[in-house]
Copies of this chain bind each other. A is one copy, B any other.
């Protein structure tokens, strides 16, 4: 599933402009999928060419014309086929965790700071999900929102309980002074 396909999916929920689709990515899908204008606008043009979406222009005063996209029935069928396929594996890459794999090369203070900042970041993400969660309409969206909260919470607890494993190494130097 690429960004093009997900644009199609978003249009199953109702007509939208490219700008609005971008906002949907940011506000409702950010946990699991990111997309920039540089992907979205070309995707919509291609989908239009292929007859998977249709486009009507709404002229506005003193603004560029708004292009409102609607999914066609061909588009609906294609999207259905896509989601019936076995989804590809998640892609995850963490520079943060990669850095921790070399914690023994870092000063003790740097390790502690990395972990403190991570916990703070996760707490903040949980908070912003909490306020979002209430405003989410569907069960599916609540499911995703709470999924995020659960994962972040599990990470925080893991870091708190296991940070000593990383910090111990770095302390050896100072312990030698005892």
Contact = CB atoms under 8 A, between A and B. Distances in A.
A83 interface: yes
Nearest to A142: B165
Interface string A146-178: 110011011100100010011011000000000
Contacts of A6: 98
Contact of A155 (B80, B144, B151): B151
A175 B93 CA distance: 42
Interface in A80-113: 80, 83-84, 87-106, 110
How many copies make up the complex? 2
B158 A140 contact: no
A83 B97 contact: no
Q: Tell me if A's interface is mostly helix, strand, loop or mixed.
A: helix
A166 B139 CA distance: 7
A143 interface: yes
8 contacts: A1-B99, A12-B105, A87-B95, A90-B94, A91-B92, A139-B166, A146-B162, A151-B158
